[in-house]
Structure 1
Amino acid sequence: MKKVCKLLLLMLICLLLSSCWDAKQLDDLYLVYGIGVDISKENPERYLVTIVAPTVHPEANEPKIEISSEGTSIRNAQDNIQNKAARRITFANTKIFFIGEEAAKKGIGKHIDSMLRDPEGRGTIKPVVVEGRAVDLMDIDPAGIPIVSLYVSDLLRQSNETSTIPFITLRVFHNALKTDGIEPVIPFIKYGNKPSEFLVNTISLFRQDKMIGKLEGIESFAFIVLTGQVQDGFITLSYPLGDIDEYPVLTLRVKSGKSKIKTEIKDSRLHIYHEISLTTYISEYTSSESVFDEKIIEDMEKAANLHLEAICKKLIKKLQNEYENDNIGYGRYVKVNHPEYFEADDWNEQFAHAVVHVKANVRIQMVGTVQ
């Protein structure tokens, strides 16, 4: 009996002593929510890296701490930042990777590779290209949230849910970068009318790891539709009905969408057939005409189809002629369906000469409230 009691006592003591040997108190850490990279103003061969972390100490004068340092690489600059910090810096909670415009144009592949290799790095970190310099935006205090990284993280999530920008993480960008037949994209953030107001309705286009251009406004929505990522959003167009001088506005809200792509080689020419299907309901219609008429609904759907096809074709032509860059990812289908035709190194040039056919199928499911 004594042996049993001694064994139980020993087990109880072991349980009380168990803990994480490398555990650290929050007061001993800087939890980095956002990290930014810019080109150094003094030396274009070096990078300026900035971190922002909350100050958890109750007696701190500011709710956050911002530290910047230069280095030959993002990892080297992070080490230099640690030398300036009074606490251990950890990137396990990082949400946003801010990229200055100049740095994005120079190339970001090595930065993303470094962040993904880091044991604390997470593939779910969201990259965003910043108008101007990342360090300037990271210094802003948005209303209601002391850490700009948290505000931008919520802003990106909301803009993705309304089909304004695509869902992009470090892992998603890296996969597109390493996949033949598609070029990466990253959301682009601009300033609004006030210094603390941001606009996220733009997509930055990349060729490999270098930014080469942007899609804005309706082009951004068309990109979401073409890549099959639409889950909400609005289509607004003029729809003339009734009196000849009346040009009412018709706005359709998207409930869901699908994208279907087929490819064909015809007379030694690549043809790409892209069909888009959207289920919508009427969100706004400023005409006095009744919508309780199948013919009117059919006419609205035809008008919406023509409008959607026009903006999608215009975007594709821009990618083919102005940028010669396949950010939609048609090359992935050509690679599978026509391996004898597909050339990985020359695909963007092949894409520029392809014939792309776009067909829209917009269906109005509900008409909304009635008069």
Structure 2
Amino acid sequence: MKRSFTMFIILIVFLLFTAGCWNRRELNELAVTLAIGLDKTSDDQYLLTAQVVNPGEVAGDRGAGSSPVIIYSAKGKTVSEAIRKITDESPRRIYPSHLRVLVIGESLAKEGIGKPLDLFSREWDMRSDFYIVVAKGMDAKNILKVPTALEKIPANKLFNTLSLSSKVWSGTSAITLDELITDMVSEGKQPVLTGIQADIKGDEETSLSKQNVERIDMPARLSYNGLAVFDKDKLVGWLNEKQSQTYTVVTSKEKSTVVDVSCPKGGKFVYQVMSSNTEMKGKIKNGKPEIDLNVHVEGNISEVECPIDLTKTESIDQLEEIYEKTSKKVFKKAIKQVQEEYKTDIFGFGEAIHRADPQAWKKLKKDWAKHFENVPVNIRVQGEIRSIGTIDNPFQEKLK
């Protein structure tokens, strides 16, 4: 009897934990949203644009030939209000748990992104691994309207393109919500976000319709361009290509890229970066902050357009030395431009000083923007060539 009573209690406890999904959401009641755009309107409201998957068009070959995504927009005094007001038009509730990309309009970015981002960091059913980008010179809504080729769903195109570009071209950086918030609240490092543009040629109505992806030379294209510089949560300017590449190198975010370098006797060769790592050290010298950067790069020779004998060790040494000098010059110039033009520490020099001397940082952090503008940066670049490819000397020499 005692054994039976014990089993009965265990069964009751087990049933309590298998009572079902009290907060279940049926798929046919949700509008699966893969991209969201945020803008600020002239009447000081948020304009939220949701790129919602049209399930009938992405489920195998059963589509009826309509668009794979649908755009819904609504205005609200808060982001939460705007999301809920979309139900005035949408028959399903916005479901952002599978969000891939958040696009922020440039005007909103200049005003400040801290407040509208609160919902995305607070919402319990929203992941934080989506990318955040800034619409360069335009509204986020216009970015999400552009149909794309290769990827049926434009949000997947935006996500996959940035993910790939950040791995093979150092001019972009894939920033997630957690990384952005960490940099915004940091006392010694300011955030950046990759910019995105829509290049629309010809008739806008045709370019933003399904006909856009039915042409070989699409009249409307989306492309990433430069990094947006933030002071806390406000956009203050844009980095050019060299400055953007320098940022990824200094912050050890460079995974791979290619660099054009001059040859000893004219012409050029292409250095393909295979791995890159930067050791950053802060120090206080004569009572003032100073930064040491030790950049170590390994790569291959990807292309040669100059007369040089690559079978000789001294030739490889020459190319490594030229790459190191060229890169050092580019890095120093770009860092100085950021210091003088934006006075915003996107590189994390303040964090390096804090790690090296916490007591000195307590005195410096109140006016760090002024100190950052003048802090000396010592750069050492070590570039190694691991491979010259499947041939040794350029075959062009034989053509002569």
Render the CA deviation track for 1:1-22: whole Å, top value 9, x for unaligned: xx9xxx9xx99xx8xx975344
Tell me the equivalent position of 2:281: 262
The offset of 1:250, in angstroms, is 1.0
TM-score scaled to structure 1, two decimals? 0.89
Find out whether 1:53 has 2:74 as its counterpart.
no
1:290-301, aligned counterparts within 5 Å?
Answer: 290-301=309-320
The offset of 1:190, in angstroms, is 2.2
Letter in 2 for 1:55: N
Tell me the equivalent position of 1:111: 116
Equivalent of 1:179 in 164, 175, 186: 186
Render the CA deviation track for 1:222-255: whole Å, top value 9, x for unaligned: 11111111111111122232xxxxx211101011
Tell me the equivalent position of 2:39: 38
Render the CA deviation track for 1:30-70: whole Å, top value 9, x for unaligned: 00101101111x41x11211001112146694322211111
2:316 and 2:65 mapped to 1: Cα distance? 62
Find out whether 1:330 has 2:349 as its counterpart.
yes
Letter in 2 for 1:69: A
**1:183 and 1:328 in contact (8 A); partners too:** yes
The offset of 1:273, in angstroms, is 0.8
Letter in 1 for 2:155: S
Tell me the equivalent position of 1:156: 162
Tell me the equivalent position of 2:366: 345
Letter in 2 for 1:183: Q
The offset of 1:74, in angstroms, is 1.4
1:238 and 1:187 mapped to 2: Cα distance? 29
**2:259 and 2:270 in contact (8 A); partners too:** yes
Find out whether 1:203 has 2:222 as its counterpart.
no
Q: 1:60 to 1:199 in 2, by over 3 A?
A: closer
1:137 and 1:167 mapped to 2: Cα distance? 17
Tell me the secondary structure at the aligned position of residue 300 of structure 2: strand
The offset of 1:332, in angstroms, is 0.6
Q: 1:291 to 1:354 in 2, by over 3 A?
A: same
**2:190 and 2:231 in contact (8 A); partners too:** yes
Letter in 2 for 1:66: I
Tell me the secondary structure at the aligned position of residue 359 of structure 2: coil
**2:183 and 2:189 in contact (8 A); partners too:** yes
1:302 and 1:277 mapped to 2: Cα distance? 13
Letter in 2 for 1:322: E
Tell me the equivalent position of 1:282: 301
2:69 and 2:274 mapped to 1: Cα distance? 40
**2:74 and 2:82 in contact (8 A); partners too:** yes
Tell me the equivalent position of 1:169: 176
1:178 and 1:330 mapped to 2: Cα distance? 15
1:268 and 1:345 mapped to 2: Cα distance? 16
**1:52 and 1:65 in contact (8 A); partners too:** yes
Equivalent of 1:229 in 244, 253, 262: 253
Equivalent of 2:67 in 36, 40, 62: 62
Render the CA deviation track for 1:341-369: whole Å, top value 9, x for unaligned: 22333212111121111111111111113
Tell me the secondary structure at the aligned position of residue 365 of structure 2: coil
Find out whether 1:216 has 2:221 as its counterpart.
no
Tell me the secondary structure at the aligned position of residue 358 of structure 1: strand
2:277 and 2:53 mapped to 1: Cα distance? 42
TM-score scaled to structure 2, two decimals? 0.83
Tell me the secondary structure at the aligned position of residue 163 of structure 2: helix
How many residues are paired up?
353
Percent of residue pairs bearing the same amino acid type: 25
Range moving further from structure 2, 232-241 or 152-161: 232-241
Structure 1: stretches of 5+ with no match in the other structure: 242-246
Letter in 1 for 2:257: G
Tell me the equivalent position of 1:248: 267
Q: 1:331 to 1:59 in 2, by over 3 A?
A: same
1:110 and 1:265 mapped to 2: Cα distance? 36
2:77 and 2:289 mapped to 1: Cα distance? 44
1:36 and 1:64 mapped to 2: Cα distance? 14
1:71 and 1:337 mapped to 2: Cα distance? 46
1:316 and 1:330 mapped to 2: Cα distance? 11
1:336 and 1:227 mapped to 2: Cα distance? 15
Tell me the equivalent position of 1:244: none
Find out whether 1:136 has 2:113 as its counterpart.
no
**1:201 and 1:220 in contact (8 A); partners too:** no
**2:246 and 2:335 in contact (8 A); partners too:** no
Find out whether 1:82 has 2:106 as its counterpart.
no
Equivalent of 1:147 in 153, 175, 183: 153
Tell me the equivalent position of 2:24: 23
